[in-house]
Every structure is written in structure tokens, then in C-alpha cells.
Amino acid sequence: MSQVIIGVTFPSQLKQGELIAGTITCKNVLADNEFIAVTVTPDWQPAYWAQTLLQMSAGQTVTFNYPSDFMDSQERTPTLTMPDSDAVLTIEAALAVGTLNQIIETQTVTIKVETLPSRKIAGLPLWMWIVGGITIAATAATILTITKFKKKK
């Protein structure tokens, strides 16, 4: 069978908590008009799948917008946000026959989580330098206080 999912466009990188959105382009490669179901499932929340269904003419190509053209299992527009690690979405195109979907193609998309650049000085994180500096300053103050106290006696 020819390729049904002919284009998938999602961002390559998102910040944690940002809304995941993209497009999926499908083509009815069958000789007849058929209902094609497209399902998007996040690997970190497999129960939170979303689906769209459309009767497509033979040879017709359609671009679906995720999430606006999709409905989740509660019949709401999905609001999938970027997790704290890389996101993998499984996209399935299926021939909808009655209440059953016969999967005809599956693709996956990986979205990298965008992290803040780490601030390092001489290979150590900035916070270690701050804690070290405070510790040195406190130690120096203690030594000066002890030295002054001993000189007064």
C-alpha cells in the first residue's frame, strides 16, 4: 500500500508546558471513498489520545491541524502540553470500518524539550561558586573574629 501519511509538521523543540500543535497531511490511496481516522497518542500519557475522522474521496489529500481538528476521548479539543522530557507522539492513520479502525500506517514524531542554558564557570555550576564564596567569606569572618578576640586578651 502507498503512503497515507504524507506529511507531519510539529516543532522540533518546545519549552516545558507549551501547547503542542502541528499538522498532519494524509492522502486516501484507496480506490474508493473511505473514512480515514487519524489518531495522535503521546507516549507519556497513552490514555490521552485524540482522533479526527473524515470521509475522503479516492486520491484526496487533506491537512489536519492538531489540536483544533481533533477530539479527545471526552469529545473535547485536546490541550496537550510539553512534558519535562522529550515528547514522542505516535500518529496512526486507519481505515474506519464500522466501529473498528484498521491501522494502515504509523509514524512517530519526537519533540525535544528546550532547557535553559546551564551557567558554568570553570566547569562548575554557578550555584556552587556562590555557595563556595559564602562559605569562604563566613570562614574568613570567623577567623578574623577569633584573631581579634585573642589579641584583646
pLDDT in tens, 39-72: 999 999 888 899 998 889 988 999 999 999 999 8
pLDDT band at 18 (very low <50, low <70, confident <90, very high): very high
pLDDT at position 111: 92
- 5-114: CATH topology: Immunoglobulin-like (2.60.40)
Rounded average pLDDT over 20-36:
89
Furthest CA-CA distance within the chain: 103
Please compute the mean of the pLDDT values over residues 126-132 and round it to a whole number.
74
User: Rounded to whole angstroms, how far apart are CA atoms 50 and 62?
Assistant: 17
Return the pLDDT at 153: 58
> In terms of pLDDT, which residue wins out, 73 or 116?
73
Q: Does the predicted model carry a pTM greater than 0.85?
A: no
Model confidence at 85: pLDDT above 60? yes
Q: How far is the C-alpha of 50 from the C-alpha of 57, rounded, in Å? A: 23
Neighbours of 97 (CB within 10 A): 11
Q: Which residues of 60-96 are buried (b: 16+ CB within 10 A; e: fewer)?
A: eebebebbebbebeeeeebebebbeeebebebbbbbb
- Listed in order, strand segments (DSSP E) in the chain are 5-9, 13-15, 22-27, 34-42, 50-56, 61-66, 71-72, 87-97, 100-114, 120-121, 124-125
For residue 131 the three cell numbers come to 555557595
Q: Which stretch of 24-28, 33-37, 88-92, 118-122 has the lowest confidence by average pLDDT?
A: 118-122
